[in-house]
Amino acid sequence: MKTLFLSAADPICAETAANIIKSGGLVAIPTETVYGLGANGLSEEAVKKIFEAKGRPQDNPLILHIAGPEQIEEFAHHIPQGAYDLAERFWPGPLTIILPAKDFIPRRTTGGLNTVGLRCPDCDITREIIRLSGVPVAAPSANISGKPSTTTAQHVRHDHEGRIDCIVDGGPCRVGVESTIVDLTERRPRLLRPGGIGPEELLEVLGDLVVDKAVTAQIDKDEVVKAPGMKYRHYAPQSEVVIVGGSREKAAAYIRSHFEPGDRVLCFEEELSLYEGCNPLSYGLEADVNTLSAGLFAALRELDDPSIHQVYARCPVGGGVAYAVQNRLKKAAAFHVVDAEEEL
Ligand code: AMP
Ligand code: MG
């Protein structure tokens, strides 16, 4: 298959991409979070292609991307007031809301669940593609399953050139980590995945929030979870990753004393000079957590190299989007964290 490349700036981009989606094809779409691998979310056949292209387990549900908040009622029912409040405050934006699904939504899209994840992305070209296609666009992150997510069109090209119909290049993703997911189908709102919208902001709107266990700990393969996708290994480069916590100086002392040739250090820009000779890679500024979220996956992809033995990673502290960066790094590290303050 020949993959068509379209620039978001091209006047025929939205219409061309929408036509491919209408006819059951796969289009990689830019969003403010990560690039998605999009298809008609109401077509079993089209959605099947997403799972095949990614090598994604069948029980891992897909998020439906919609053009505006007014579409919530087309696809969900029994909608609590909190959903409208969240949509008004955060859409278009990096927030997915889980609601009871209307029956016509294929179970292949929802991973067999009777709930559906809805999101309205903050990306003009992609909302236009969705609008013109006339269907909700099911789109998981465009990476091959288990690999770090795609935050540039080049990442998508690397994973899928010749295997999907079209890639829309909208430049690098602004947020860089996947959407926050909040489940509103139970008595209490539940955070299933942290993302660009911090838990503090959700709490402000909803007045209550439970943080799911899958956010903070490794989930056993056989465990029954709210969102099956949460139990799979994620975001991981091929090498072992360990997060080293503690002050800049203590962490550097710990890493330098354990570092062996062939290892790498993933650190903040401000720390580069502490790791001379240790082949450090910066993923952004500690002083500006938005640069860390935007740079994380590109860095993890660069470290996805079988010749690297061990990656020592530095992780920001705090809430907001830092909470999402912590979550992705911890998943990449299979929750392997050492505290340099205690180790030395
Ligand atoms: P991604 O591959 O980054 O697009 O992730 C999609 C994730 O959204 C899944 O792995 C689930 O964790 C979550 N998700 C989507 N739809 C649902 C749903 N109906 N119920 C619970 N979680 C969902
Ligand atoms: Mg993903």
Q: Best of 58, 59, 62, 144 to mutate for ligand 1, by most ligand atoms within 8 A of CB? A: 62
Asked if 219 and 311 count as a contact pair (C-beta separation under 8 A), the reply is no
In sequence order, the β-bridge partners of residue 191 are 182, 211
Q: Summarize the confidence of residues 214-235 as an average pLDDT.
A: 69
| 3-state DSSP assignment of residue 87 | helix
Q: Tell me: cis bond preceding 92? Omega within 30 of 0 counts.
A: yes
Beta carbons within 8 Å of 196's beta carbon, 6+ residues apart: 32, 33, 93, 94, 95, 175, 177, 179, 180, 293, 321, 324
The per-residue pLDDT for range 16-59, each reduced to its tens digit, is: 999 999 999 999 999 999 999 999 999 999 999 999 999 999 99
Residue located nearest, by CA, to atom 1 of ligand 1: 140
The per-residue pLDDT for range 183-200, each reduced to its tens digit, is: 999 999 999 999 999 999
Q: Best of 150, 151, 192, 215 to mutate for ligand 1, by most ligand atoms within 8 A of CB? A: 192
CA 295 distance to own-chain centroid: 13
Q: Poorest-confidence range of 80-94, 178-192, 234-248, 322-336?
A: 234-248
The per-residue pLDDT for range 51-77, each reduced to its tens digit, is: 999 999 999 999 999 999 999 999 999
Residue located nearest, by CA, to atom 19 of ligand 1: 116
- Quote the CA–CA distance of 280 and 267 in Å, as a whole number: 7
Whole-number Å distance, alpha carbon 226 to ligand 1 midpoint, is: 10
Question: Can you give the pLDDT at residue 238?
Answer: 84
Whole-number Å distance, alpha carbon 100 to ligand 1 midpoint, is: 14
Q: Summarize the confidence of residues 229-253 as an average pLDDT.
A: 85
The per-residue pLDDT for range 72-112, each reduced to its tens digit, is: 999 999 999 999 999 999 999 999 999 999 999 999 999 99
Q: Best of 29, 33, 60, 108 to mutate for ligand 1, by most ligand atoms within 8 A of CB? A: 60
Question: Can you give the pLDDT at residue 214?
Answer: 87
Give the CB-side neighbour count of residue 217, counting CA atoms within 13 A.
8
Question: Can you give the pLDDT at residue 241?
Answer: 95
- Quote the CA–CA distance of 65 and 179 in Å, as a whole number: 11
- Give me the sheet containing 180-183, strands edge to edge: 4-7, 166-169, 27-29, 36-40, 137-138, 63-65, 115-119, 95-100, 180-183, 190-193, 210-211
Give the ligand with the smallest distance to the CA of 96: 1
Q: Best of 181, 219, 235 to mutate for ligand 1, by most ligand atoms within 8 A of CB? A: 181
The per-residue pLDDT for range 106-165, each reduced to its tens digit, is: 999 999 999 999 999 999 999 999 999 999 999 999 999 988 999 999 999 999 999 999
Locate the ligand 1 atom nearest the alpha carbon of residue 117 and give its number: 16
In sequence order, the β-bridge partners of residue 5 are 167
Q: Which of 334, 175, 329 is nearest to 245 (CA)?
A: 329
Asked if 227 and 246 count as a contact pair (C-beta separation under 8 A), the reply is no
Q: Which of 132, 136, 141 is nearest to 176 (CA)?
A: 141
Beta carbons within 8 Å of 36's beta carbon, 6+ residues apart: 28, 29, 65, 137, 139, 140, 141, 142
CA torsion angle 7 9 13 18 (round to 10) = 100
Q: Summarize the confidence of residues 231-254 as an average pLDDT.
A: 87
Whole-number Å distance, alpha carbon 56 to ligand 1 midpoint, is: 12
Share of the chain above pLDDT 70, in %: 95
- Quote the CA–CA distance of 105 and 183 in Å, as a whole number: 18
Question: Can you give the pLDDT at residue 344?
Answer: 59
Whole-number Å distance, alpha carbon 260 to ligand 1 midpoint, is: 38
- pTM over 0.85? The answer is yes
In sequence order, the β-bridge partners of residue 39 are 138
**Which helix (H) or strand (E) segment is 179 a member of?**
none
Q: Which of 294, 258, 255, 290 is nearest to 271 (CA)?
A: 255
The per-residue pLDDT for range 111-123, each reduced to its tens digit, is: 999 999 999 999 9
The per-residue pLDDT for range 248-277, each reduced to its tens digit, is: 999 999 999 999 999 999 999 999 999 999
Question: Can you give the pLDDT at residue 60?
Answer: 93
Cβ atoms within 10 Å of 257's Cβ, excluding its own: 10
Query: For ligand 1, which residues put their CB under 6 angstroms from it?
Result: 60-61, 63, 98, 110, 113, 115-117, 140-141, 178, 181, 192-193, 226-227, 229-230
Answer positive or negative: Cα dihedral of 213, 219, 225, 230. positive
Q: Are strands 180-183 and 190-193 parallel, antiparallel or unpaired?
A: antiparallel
Question: Can you give the pLDDT at residue 225?
Answer: 63
Give the pLDDT band (50/70/90) at residue 216.
confident
Cβ atoms within 10 Å of 309's Cβ, excluding its own: 12
